[in-house]
Chains A and B, each alone.
Chain A
Amino acid sequence: MYKILVVEDSEDYQKIITRTLGDHQVFISTSAEEAAIALKNANYDMILIDINLPQKDGYSLLSEMRGRPELCDTPIVCLTGRTEITDKVTAFSLGADDYITKPFDPIELQIRVESRLKKTFRKKNEDLITHVGAIEIDHARHRVTSLIDNIKTEIDVTQTEFKLLSCLARRPEQVYTRGQLLIATWGEDAEVLDRVVDAHICLLRKKLGPHSHYIKAVTGIGYKLVPYMKKKITS
């Protein structure tokens, strides 16, 4: 049983979706504002968004969600009466995983949701251990090891350093702003200065030793993980 957040203002569709996905825990938000509160208070395994919402529309909500590192792996499905190709293109370009047009066959919704959940959780299980270059991150055991000359050495990192590294390792080469790293590490309500991220990154780099160059600063923005070997300079 998974937790699914449905952002939908139509009572008819709230009823249909709740019954269709009756094998899961379905939580309803009737606006983008309500959804923001729901997401602050709980984690969800999947989010279904209607595009035509009162006040702030589903596109803005989708874009905000995709900007939050903790939601970058959560499948988001758009459910909407908008059938134009431009709407579909907008939804996918903002990071939607699927697009279902209303009215839909309940069986189709059920199948698509189940298939998306299955894929996501199969991938999440595989992702319990992430390899970035010569570093292995074991998310289940909160352990970081480095591989040098086929010898595994555990790197003793703090919880904060582990969270920072895990966040950067989710999408190597993607630049994370200090704000995004702050939220991923300390949560949204934490009153922590941006520069605290720099201090922890500095400590993490030291601990990574020969792999410290994996973490690259992006001037004026934040950091990214580039897990490749240093190029040797040959004369």
Chain B
Amino acid sequence: MSKILNRNALKKLRALNRSNSKDLAVELIEDFLVKTPLFLLDIEQSLKRRDTTAVFNVAHALKSSSAVIGAESFSQIAESLETATRLGILSKTIENYVQLLQNFELTRKVLVQAATAHENMSR
């Protein structure tokens, strides 16, 4: 079972921080929290249109953007969604989408805490 958040990934991003620049981990977490709800909505609309290519592309993007900030379980579900879409298994695609929605709530809470902790460390 993968973790909601692998803090090691955030540590690695922190190592890339330079003076006078914003904390990269915080910046990427903020981007993720703003863009993901829009992406999820995009998947829902694409599913309604049966546009599997669009679902695949969004799932692929979500897999990457979550993995980079250590949101492991979210990334894993996004990968399952990507695979299910590629294989054309609609029932699995819908199941993974629902899991992704549920997981995002948990991931969001953990990421908000992590971003706050990171910002405090940077001060």
Contacts and interface: CB of A to CB of B under 8 A. Distances in A.
Contacts of B75: 103
B1 interface: no
Contacts of B57: 52
B4 interface: no
Interface of B: 9, 12-13, 15-18, 21, 24, 27-28, 31-32, 57, 60-61, 63-65, 67-68, 75
Given A19-B24, A81-B63, A103-B9, 13 more contacts: A10-B61, A10-B64, A10-B65, A12-B28, A13-B64, A15-B27, A15-B28, A16-B16, A16-B24, A16-B68, A52-B60, A81-B64, A103-B68
A19 B18 contact: yes
Given A10-B65, A11-B31, A106-B15, A81 B60 contact: yes
A152 interface: no
Contacts of A19: 16-18, 21, 24
A103 B60 CA distance: 12
Nearest to B28: A12
Nearest to B17: A19
B64 A12 contact: yes
A102 B65 CA distance: 10
Contact of A102 (B28, B32, B68): B68
13 contacts: A10-B65, A12-B64, A13-B68, A15-B28, A16-B24, A19-B18, A22-B18, A52-B60, A102-B67, A103-B9, A103-B75, A106-B16, A107-B12
Interface string A22-38: 10000000000000000
A180 interface: no
A212 interface: no
A189 interface: no
Interface string A96-120: 0000001101110000000000000
Nearest to B65: A12
A31 B33 CA distance: 25
A20 interface: yes
Contacts of B68: 12-13, 16, 102-103
Contacts of A10: 61, 64-65
A186 B116 CA distance: 57
B32 to A, nearest CB: 8
A192 to B, nearest CB: 42
Contacts of A16: 13, 16, 24, 28, 68
Nearest to B27: A15
Contacts of A81: 60, 63-64
Contacts of A22: 16, 18
A49 B61 CA distance: 16
Contacts of B63: 81
